Chains A and B, each alone.
Chain A
Amino acid sequence: GENVEQHPSTLSVQEGDSAVIKCTYSDSASNYFPWYKQELGKGPQLIIDIRSNVGEKKDQRIAVTLNKTAKHFSLHITETQPEDSAVYFCAASKEGGGTSYGKLTFGQGTILTVHP
């Protein structure tokens, strides 16, 4: 089955700096890659996702890049703010019919701390 590795496990930055979190996946058939943000005591919330037909997607201060050949994808947060402090998870899934049914395999998570 799919295996997703996420690095680093913790990341500490100063407000205004950029933060980058990287994930690798093992199943070359995976073609949907969402990123989730989890705040303390809450469930994960989708912040951005990318499908395999594009190499990069951006939404304001957040961007995700995908390298299908190398089987890795990354989350980039620019101009970080204290409210960006949270746990971030990457995930991978296969689209299409069959037995995928949207099942996600998650990375282990990155604790991001943004210092004012």
Chain B
Amino acid sequence: NAGVTQTPKFRILKIGQSMTLQCTQDMNHNYMYWYRQDPGMGLKLIYYSVGAGITDKGEVPNGYNVSRSTTEDFPLRLELAAPSQTSVYFCASSQRQGVVYSNQPQHFGDGTRLSIL
């Protein structure tokens, strides 16, 4: 089991460029999340998805877009990169438990370190 896999691990972008951060999980989890982690700060939720075809905004969604066409994949897209988007990005997944959702542990990838210059 690979768990949650993120690619690329590192990337440098120029201001105004676009890119897609890839995330895939092989645990058949329903829920997936994207977070950003800035130095000295905790993780902040960008977008999340509760299943294929369903996505919603988190705390800091501006400048990002997501899609969820399959259970396994949850890519994050930056359309017009800005210096404020320099950060470490983490993807996570968790499993729905029961009809009334019971929180299950989130499993994280190892992150994508993105610098925008």
> Is the CB–CB distance between B48 and A101 below 8 Å?
yes
Interface membership of A106, Cβ < 8 A: yes
Contact with B along A14-36 (1 / 0, CB 8 A): 00000000000000000010101
> Is the CB–CB distance between B31 and A101 below 8 Å?
yes
Interface membership of B42, Cβ < 8 A: yes
Interface membership of A74, Cβ < 8 A: no
Q: Which residues of A contact B104 (CB under 8 A)?
A: 102
> Is the CB–CB distance between B110 and A102 below 8 Å?
no
> Is the CB–CB distance between B42 and A6 below 8 Å?
yes
Within the complex, the shortest CB–CB distance from A90 to chain B, in Å, comes to 9
Nearest-neighbor residue (CB-CB) of B9 within chain A: A41
Query: Known: A34-B105, A43-B108. Contact between A103 and B45, CB under 8 A?
Result: yes
Interface membership of B70, Cβ < 8 A: no
Q: How large is the interface on A (under 10, 10 to 19, 20 to 34, 35 or more residues)?
A: 20 to 34
Within the complex, the shortest CB–CB distance from B110 to chain A, in Å, comes to 5
> Is the CB–CB distance between B103 and A93 below 8 Å?
yes
> Is the CB–CB distance between A42 and B110 below 8 Å?
yes
Query: Known: A101-B50, A103-B33, A103-B48. Contact between A44 and B105, CB under 8 A?
Result: no
Q: Which residues of B contact A43 (CB under 8 A)?
A: 4, 90, 92, 108-111
Within the complex, the shortest CB–CB distance from B21 to chain A, in Å, comes to 13
> Is the CB–CB distance between A44 and B90 below 8 Å?
yes
Within the complex, the shortest CB–CB distance from A101 to chain B, in Å, comes to 5
Contact with A along B80-116 (1 / 0, CB 8 A): 0000000000101010000111111111111100000
Chain B residues at the A interface, C-beta cutoff of 8 Å:
4, 31, 33, 40-45, 48, 50, 56, 58-59, 90, 92, 94, 99-111
Chain A residues at the B interface, C-beta cutoff of 8 Å:
1, 4, 6, 9, 32, 34, 36, 41-46, 49, 51, 89, 91, 93, 95-97, 100-109
